[in-house]
Amino acid sequence: MPTQNGLDQLISDLIQGRAKEYAGALQRFEAQKARQAKSNEALAKEQIKYLMSIGVKINDLKREQSKEAKPLEAYLAEVRPPFLSRPGAQTADGKNRALLATRFGAGTIAVPPYGAFAPPDQGSGGISSGWVFSDAGNLKIKAQSTGSGWTGFWEAIAAPPPIPHDVIFTFIPAETRSYNLNAVLAFHGFYVLKANSGFLEKAFAEVSIDLQLGVHQYVDQWQSFPRPLDANKSNTDEFDDYDRTLFFDSTAPLRQGDPVVVTVRVAVDAIANDSGSYAEINFADGTANYIQPLFLCVTPA
């Protein structure tokens, strides 16, 4: 029978390997971004030269588009506070956990989360040799993107890979057979989209949630799910709450007596460009916005 120290070491090894993979993805992004910047710079000069040749005053255009900054501030000051000050749902989540656990079949065990891991510099997605352990009972995740004024219609958009947050569950199968694995997470948050295209602009704003479930017994096996939220807007002022209890299921053959690590990977992303177009997805600010991993149900198939 594996010891607790053995389980801890297994999880630590997995997390460190994933940290290196994410660091490598960020390094590749930075290299790509540098190459793209050189290409954009040359193209921008040609485009500016052309616009000036047909009588467009670049400084006047920039000044006109920068007027979007103050309306954006006023808009956010109006729509964000109700989401930040609303009451939390922790009590309801506790009741929901107990109720949902009765929905699964005989022989089911409900496994609580072991913990959550993410890169330490969540604000900038900085490269690190390791990930930070956090309390999975109140997971805080958000992505924000600002942008006002004119950036030019030639400019390509490059975004770093979203910051992964891994929620870990672990258990030891009682017998060798296939198991149904169902991770249940409660999402409480909100999103804001604002994009208003102007002259020579490709303004847009988008927010998304990406989810994967990984089963590890000797090797990793990952499964991706359709995005539960994937909003891509232009010329809109949409905002809304996002309160959902989501289920992520998989089936895997597992061997008796050897530890299994189940990972739910959550990544949120927000991208915006031009005309003060502001995208935000927020499961972090205020007491009511968070992600609560409820449990992992393990049922013999």
Q: What angle do CA 275, 277, 280 make, to 5 degrees?
A: 165
At residue 10, what are phi and psi to the nearest 5 degrees?
Answer: -60, -45
**pLDDT band (50, 70, 90) for residue 146:** confident
In this model, does residue 272 exceed pLDDT 90?
A: no
Helix (H) or strand (E) holding 292: strand 290-300
pLDDT attached to residue 278: 85
Query: Rg of the chain's alpha carbons, rounded to an integer?
Result: 23
Helix (H) or strand (E) holding 61: helix 58-66
Helix (H, G, I), strand (E, B) or coil at 264: strand
Q: Tokens 């052309």 map to which residue?
A: 50
pLDDT attached to residue 149: 46
Share of the chain above pLDDT 70, in %: 79
Question: Length of the chain in residues, anyone?
Answer: 301
Bridge partner list, 216 = 220, 261
In this model, does residue 39 exceed pLDDT 60?
A: yes
Helix extents (H) in 101-223: none
Spatial distance between the Cα atoms of 62 and 145, rounded to a whole number of angstroms: 20
Number of helices (H) and strands (E) in the chain: give both, helices first. 4, 13
Q: What DSSP state is assigned to residue 166?
A: E
pLDDT higher for 8 or 178? 178
Q: Tokens 């694995």 map to which residue?
A: 181
Best mean pLDDT range from 4-13, 116-125, 169-178: 169-178
Spatial distance between the Cα atoms of 134 and 51, rounded to a whole number of angstroms: 52
pLDDT in tens, 90-101: 888 888 888 887
Task: Give the count of beta carbons closer than 10 Å to the beta carbon of residue 181.
Answer: 23
**pLDDT band (50, 70, 90) for residue 124:** very low
Q: Name which of 111, 81, 139, 102 is nearest 265 in CA terms.
A: 139
Range of the domain at 240: 4-300
Spatial distance between the Cα atoms of 81 and 191, rounded to a whole number of angstroms: 12
Q: Name which of 180, 240, 190, 187 is nearest 211 in CA terms.
A: 187
At residue 152, what are phi and psi to the nearest 5 degrees?
Answer: 100, 140
pLDDT higher for 157 or 81? 81
Least confident range from 8-17, 34-43, 237-246, 249-258: namely 34-43
* pTM as predicted: 0.83
Contact 192, 79 (CB under 8 A): yes
pLDDT in tens, 9-35: 899 999 989 988 888 888 888 888 777
Helix (H) or strand (E) holding 278: strand 278-283
Report, as an integer, the average pLDDT of 189-210.
79
Helix (H, G, I), strand (E, B) or coil at 177: strand
Phi-psi region of 30 (alpha: psi -120 to 50; beta: other; left: phi over 0): alpha
Spatial distance between the Cα atoms of 282 and 285, rounded to a whole number of angstroms: 7
Q: How many domains does the chain have?
A: 1
Q: Name which of 90, 248, 242 is nearest 180 in CA terms.
A: 248
